[in-house]
Amino acid sequence: EQASASTMTEVEEVKMVVKLMPIWSTCILFWTIYSQMTTFSVEQATHMDRRLNAGFEIPAGSLSVFLFLSILLFTSLNERFLVPLAARLTGRAQGLTSLQRVGTGLVFATVAMVVAALVEKMRRDAANGESQVAISAFWLVPQFFIVGAGEAFAYVGQLEFFIREAPERMKSMST
């Protein structure tokens, strides 16, 4: 069998992919935190008071709606207010760079995890060996909103970055 030599284009594409790896690895951190919102936070809610009134208790999984509302709200606010403000301050039409958006999203996600830890400590302190606690599940709403705000920055930044920087033949895979 005869080994085929790689073309110059293939070699350059591999180099480009290797250069993208550090940015891609930071995305893993964000999406790990994001997955906590849709798993652990819902589990927290199952052990908290989810009653809206005496006759209606919302399902624990329904609290995820606050995450999606936050994404919609902050994506709109970001495009409507923050991008024009950042554009005036930085002199760049897009305002923040792609990596600045990703970094901002990571900061929001980290703050959301701090809030989640504080709420979990409060929930565990109130548990006293009981599985159900009298603390309202709506204490979880801030962490959903904060990570949703983070996604509004991180996801848009990641899309912009990888579409711009990925090799031509890999653009669809990079998103």
The string of pLDDT tens digits covering residues 45-86 is 999 999 888 788 899 999 999 999 999 999 999 989 998 999
In this structure, is residue 97 part of a structural domain? Answer: yes
Range of the domain at 123: 61-175
Residues in the chain where the model's pLDDT stays below 50: none
pLDDT of residue 171: 64
In this structure, is residue 17 part of a structural domain? Answer: no
Q: Which token pair is 130?
A: 């009981």
In this structure, is residue 55 part of a structural domain? Answer: no
* Rounded Cα distance, 143 and 117, in Å: 10
Domains of the chain: total = 1
Computed over every residue of the chain, the mean pLDDT equals 87
In this structure, is residue 72 part of a structural domain? Answer: yes
In this structure, is residue 15 part of a structural domain? Answer: no
Nearest to 140 by CA among 56, 13, 9, 36: 36
**CA dist 154 → 12, 27, 51, 54, 151 (Å):** 27, 8, 33, 39, 5
* Rounded Cα distance, 117 and 115, in Å: 5
Q: Which residues lie closer than 8 Å to 102 by C-beta, 6 or more apart? A: 23, 26, 27, 30, 153, 154, 157, 158, 161
pLDDT of residue 2: 54
Burial of residue 155, with CB atoms counted within 10 A of its CB: 0-12 exposed, 13-18 middle, 19 or more buried: buried
pTM reported for the whole predicted model: 0.83
CB atoms within 10 A of CB 34: 20
**CA dist 20 → 9, 33, 43, 111, 153 (Å):** 17, 21, 35, 26, 19
3-state DSSP assignment of residue 131: coil
In this structure, is residue 54 part of a structural domain? Answer: no
* Rounded Cα distance, 105 and 147, in Å: 8
* Rounded Cα distance, 117 and 44, in Å: 11
In this structure, is residue 29 part of a structural domain? Answer: no
Counting residues of the chain whose pLDDT is more than 90, the rounded percentage is 40
In this structure, is residue 126 part of a structural domain? Answer: yes
